[in-house]
Structure 1
């Protein structure tokens, strides 16, 4: 079993909220070591203004307190 398979197996045992933390850390390492796909980052940047209007609205304010 290679290291990626071990990481995947261990991540599958975590509760969802902790799995998100692991994913965030992996993405941090990719960014830190310039391993991220710059095309994907450009797409996220382009989508941000549109998504902000969807995420930031009065009906969903209750979710901001979680």
Structure 2
């Protein structure tokens, strides 16, 4: 049985207010995953652009 099916089986036994809490928590996890993926993308971009930003030619523009 898939994880989603197990979650469904467990939550369908819960009262409505507790099932709502589970749904809210799942939403929180989804938002956290999105935020973490965004942070990973930014870190990858910074690493890739470091060679472009931090070089002697670029330093000349710092004085303009």
TM-score normalized by structure 2?
0.52
Structure 2 distance, partners of 1:34, 1:9, is: 26
Q: Which residue pairs with 1:46 in the alignment? A: none
Q: Which residue pairs with 1:20 in the alignment? A: 20
Q: Which residue pairs with 1:6 in the alignment? A: 6
Structure 2 distance, partners of 1:23, 1:4, is: 12
Matched residues, number: 35
Structure 2 distance, partners of 1:17, 1:10, is: 14
TM-score normalized by structure 1?
0.51
Bigger share in helix: 2
Higher Cα Rg, which structure: 2
User: Where does structure 2 lack aligned partners over 5 or more consecutive residues?
Assistant: 36-64
User: Where does structure 1 lack aligned partners over 5 or more consecutive residues?
Assistant: 36-66
Q: CA RMSD in A?
A: 1.3
